[in-house]
Amino acid sequence: MRVSICIPNYNHGMFIGKAIQSVLDQTYQDFEIIVVDDCSTDNSEEVIKSFKDPRIKFFRNERNLGMVPNTNKALKLAKGEFIGILNSDDYYGQKMIETALKMFENPSVGFTYSSYVVVNESGGIITKVESCPCDKIFKSKEGFKRLAISNVAPPSGVIARKKCYEAVGSFDDEFPYCHDWNMWLRLSLKYDFACLSDYLLYYRMHSRNTSIALYNSFETAMQEYGMLKKLQKGIDSELLPFVKEGAKRAAKRALLNSIGGLYSGGRGRAFEFFSKALRLEKRNLTWPLTLVCPFIILSGWNGLKLSVSLYKKFLGVLRQSVPFHSPETLFYRYGL
């Protein structure tokens, strides 16, 4: 087979069938599907085994490895020349593989990513995220600069050459909430990549991952900041300003995401998060929205809901000052 689609899974029995079927329905058919289940306690195994296609290879871990190690295990099991990692609650559009392979006809392209559609639990469209207005190949340094400022590549929307993964190594478990962004940056330091304008991925927001996003949104931003600060060590001087800018934006996201502490521990937890985020970058002290966060925290859920509705209402204006960039921040973009 030429393509391997890896589907790491944990307790997504109600969604993984759609993910598998979306691969089986591809216009390009020379593939294998690697499903690695991380000791799910729901009906995932039953759903996976209900598919009889011999291209589906199912593995169940003896113990729970966690998100990143489970993804790395799936990656090691893949035998195709090209590898896609599809989260088990997301799914592909029918031409995902076919479109990506056309870009790989250019030997300099190491990986591709696409525009995507955000859907709810039942598949209804929430919004569409355009990654680029037209298909474009970014040269390595040019692409790195773009990715360093903002993670524009959705995790399930990337297909890469196997040899590229082999060259840069596995996903880094030090930063589990932004391990995908870390990988795309490492890949883009070595390889060109292609952005696909077509909406070829469906990213699902549902009750389980929405609550996880609420709880982890602050930690995600903190990890993004730490990852980008670590990346600055030894980076080419031409690229350094872009990594620094990415870190500054992550620090701002940490401030805004500190409000999510209302969900996990009330006002006390939210102020604890806010204090930690405030120490990341001195410039945050003069950022206008820094002053807004304590007022939202003090007002609790009503203030939080009001801030979300105002952001949605004045999206065009606020987009310039609020550094949103990826599905992790859908908490703010699309409401509670």
Report whether 114 contacts 96 (CB < 8 A). Answer: yes
What pLDDT digit, counting tens, does each position of 232-247 carry? 998 999 999 999 999 9
The pTM assigned to this predicted structure is 0.89
Tell me the C-alpha distance between 278 and 254, whole Å.
8
The pLDDT tens digits for 146-177 are 999 988 898 899 999 999 999 999 999 999 99
What integer pLDDT is reported at residue 209 of this predicted model? Answer: 62
Q: Which domains does the chain have, with CATH numbers?
A: 3-205 (3.90.550.10), 208-333 (no CATH)
DSSP E strands: which ranges in the chain? 3-9, 31-37, 56-60, 82-85, 91-92, 109-119, 125-129, 136-138, 158-161, 192-204
Beta bridge partners of 129: 116
What local confidence, expressed as pLDDT, does residue 54 receive? 97
